[in-house]
Chains A and B, each alone.
Chain A
């Protein structure tokens, strides 16, 4: 236990990320946030929710909301097939599922590799993309999941 602690401390900025694809773009989130990855199963749609809310599924007895991450990021709406996957992530004490096309890689990187999001991006992207970095000639966007659910809007209303 203590050894692991020491390691993560000395490594400091180093961390592992899970990279995944939506359309032709590649994104990643911190691996510590990902609980499990599972195949797509049909959702029960929720009434009166934004279009990126796919609905809810049963995850071993818990009701798990599913977010179409592509639609949430302002890309195209995903038409899920059996090959799509759901990444189960925990965000702020809640558990939710992110619908993505495929999980592509586990990346080991350090924080100094991340470049700030350039100014070209629109607001919606900036809300979620914390930074960019290059790996093996690919560009990967680091995603913040804090505002994936529409709750801040709902709470304000």
Chain B
């Protein structure tokens, strides 16, 4: 991949993380439990997005982020008060900012109808101070612009030092330097002129300056006079010098310590500059985060420069060569940028540390930033390979144990004992490996506040989303498929569950509805609950619709719970009832289908006038399955336990035939189809005679019940799911395969397909057609 493209990708990845952090900070601000650090964190997140966007020339994003940043800046400097209204505006703004990032990444455009109002709202908050778009060019983040002019020419481009000199506003004095000098602080003038040897030893001036910044407030001036024209530039030579005015309480020795590793390879002068009459002139149009800019923007400038060179002047060999091998400081800065981009945890850290120090007057001690847990990013394929290998290890180990047992070795023999240890170890490895892929449901949950806000806006309702248990972990494959059902249910809860504010007040409830989203572990499964305090399910209405649609007969006796669960029936809801129905039920069959597709179940409990609660229970991983091992037509098969309701021994008198050879079985008072698995799969011609075998009552994803007739049940087992499609293809009636302890392949039944096939002649609800198609 083009290295810039990959840096850009990393930037967008980082953006996602930054936006998430910012949103959480804003939510805390809205909830009123935000301190200065929260506001600072949001500010820095937005600033980083803007800074990165500047490097890639993403104009729309920059413009929006810039206004956002200014609002945050006013907030943290106390110029603006954090009101509920401000927090709400900012929350909407972060959504739009996310849209801008997405648009920049995917090459779309942001809906101006959404973006513009928020933008003007924010501008109104800050009183529109100096935020004309023209301003952006002079902003400290975009100092790279003049440099590109210098290098763009096709004819032997001169690397024009004056241009460089003028451009980086970042290196100009900070706005609030010396405004409030810390008591006992002295001003030091530090001359720092790295020699080429310093860079040769992989030291970086930017890092040294950043380190210096921790000691106090500083003003950095770049001296680039020594920089020759581009065609005379030697990639190995150091040209840049810096003069730093540092206001600090630290003594000379402490300052010198910063240069400890580079002192021999640079010309260093440290002298008190207290005598200086006037402090450096404050520059009004600067963000006071110039410090972060000083350390972070230099690399971005170089990156932008390189991007321009690569993109716009590819014909000029002269231009390209120096660009790809810039002079040492640039090179190292780019390296720093890449390193920053590739290590997502570390990158924010320097800025996180630097910025508060710059603001807070007491310079010492406050640089202790949060040390994040060390993490690495790993290609998912590698993890999957490991998981597969461990799955095989588990099977192999089980086979070995079985063979040793069969060989008649004593349980106390060394081999048997060793095998036991091996088994423990294997299980531990398996658990650890599964834990690698386990992720907190946070990644799904964190999208929900935004959705809640949007749906509430659209429906004119007021809602507060309370989330719990975001840290609950579940396999990545499950996580990926949780988003849709939760989104769907949340939308339903707000749209159909909650009343509008007037209706709520009339019902004696607070105008703001509460929706609770909760995740927890229970019995080796993950349970996700979505509860609202709305009007609950209107049972007479639901019942009426079900009768109307022929789902139940008019005189059917149903418990409240059964009525509630009617909303999951395919065909219960159709487009014309969406706005009509005073309850829920929009596409709930789809939700149920996707949950069951994950081997899970969903139930609802509802109390009229008080609200409803949906409970989903899902397996923690899709790599293993709890199955019932059965025998049919001499084949060993596995039925997913999640589909099984009960198993029973059918009596001959309970089995009846409808028409030719379609059997039904009476289970208590209902008749359900009796499907001989051996026949259904084509393993044998004729079904077991009535009264033989075992019937397993299952419920298909569509909610239809059927009894699967097998010869015997061998027991329950957790099995590792193996794909049939990997080397073969999908087979109707078979969901996947697994390998049992004896090393043989067993097929896992696709209960839904078996039941649906049997129902094919019935008037098929749409859902079944979708299944077949």
Contacts and interface: CB of A to CB of B under 8 A. Distances in A.
Contact of B743 (A45, A48, A58): A58
Interface string A28-45: 000000000000001011
A56 B681 contact: no
B581 interface: no
B729 A47 contact: no
A45 B729 CA distance: 14
B727 interface: yes
A42 B682 contact: no
Contacts of B650: none
B728 A96 contact: yes
Contacts of B737: 44, 56, 63
20 contacts: A44-B635, A44-B737, A44-B747, A45-B683, A47-B681, A47-B682, A47-B732, A47-B747, A48-B682, A56-B745, A57-B744, A58-B743, A58-B745, A61-B388, A61-B396, A63-B724, A94-B727, A94-B728, A151-B729, A155-B729
Contacts of B722: 61-63
Closest 6 CB pairs of A and B: A61-B392, A47-B681, A65-B728, A44-B745, A63-B737, A63-B722
B733 A46 contact: no
Contacts of B536: none
Interface in B224-262: none
A95 B728 CA distance: 8
B346 interface: no
Contacts of B395: 58, 61
B744 A61 contact: no
A46 B734 contact: yes
A87 to B, nearest CB: 14
Contacts of B724: 56, 63
Given A42-B744, A95-B727, A96-B727, 12 more contacts: A44-B745, A44-B747, A46-B731, A46-B747, A48-B682, A57-B744, A61-B388, A61-B389, A63-B722, A63-B723, A63-B728, A96-B728
A100 to B, nearest CB: 18
Nearest to B731: A46
A138 B389 CA distance: 44
Interface string B713-727: 000000000111011
Most chain A beta-carbon neighbours within 10 Å: one of B682, B728, B744:
B728
Contact of B391 (A44, A57, A61, A95): A61
A71 interface: no
A65 to B, nearest CB: 4
Contacts of B681: 47-48
A49 interface: yes
Interface string A125-145: 000000000000000000000
Nearest to A151: B729
Most chain A beta-carbon neighbours within 10 Å: one of B388, B722, B733:
B722
A107 to B, nearest CB: 27
A64 interface: yes
B739 interface: yes
Contacts of B635: 44-45
B746 A44 contact: yes
Given A45-B635, A47-B682, A58-B745, A64 B727 contact: yes
B contact patch SS = mixed
Interface string B43-56: 00000000000000
Contacts of A155: 729
Interface in B382-407: 388-389, 391-392, 395-396
A110 to B, nearest CB: 32
Nearest to A97: B727
A154 interface: yes
Interface string B257-271: 000000000000000
Nearest to B733: A47
B729 A44 contact: no
Contacts of B745: 44, 55-58, 63
B732 A62 contact: no
Interface in A74-117: 94-96
Contact residue range for chain A? 20 to 34
Contacts of B392: 60-61
A126 to B, nearest CB: 24
A149 interface: yes
Contact residue range for chain B? 20 to 34
A154 B733 CA distance: 15
Nearest to B722: A63
Contacts of A60: 392
A105 to B, nearest CB: 27
Interface in B633-685: 635-636, 681-683
Nearest to A60: B392
B726 A47 contact: no
Contact of A47 (B388, B391, B683): B683
A8 B395 CA distance: 40
A101 to B, nearest CB: 23
Contacts of A63: 722-724, 726-728, 737, 739, 745
Nearest to B730: A154
A154 B731 CA distance: 10
A22 to B, nearest CB: 21
B747 A48 contact: no
B381 to A, nearest CB: 15
Contacts of A61: 388-389, 391-392, 395-396, 722, 739
A68 to B, nearest CB: 14
B648 to A, nearest CB: 25
Given A61-B391, A61-B392, A44 B726 contact: no
A63 to B, nearest CB: 5
A56 B743 contact: no
Contacts of B636: 44
Given A45-B635, A63-B724, A58 B729 contact: no
Nearest to B388: A61
Given A44-B635, A56-B737, A56-B745, A49 B731 contact: yes
Contact of B731 (A47, A57, A58, A94): A47
Nearest to A94: B727
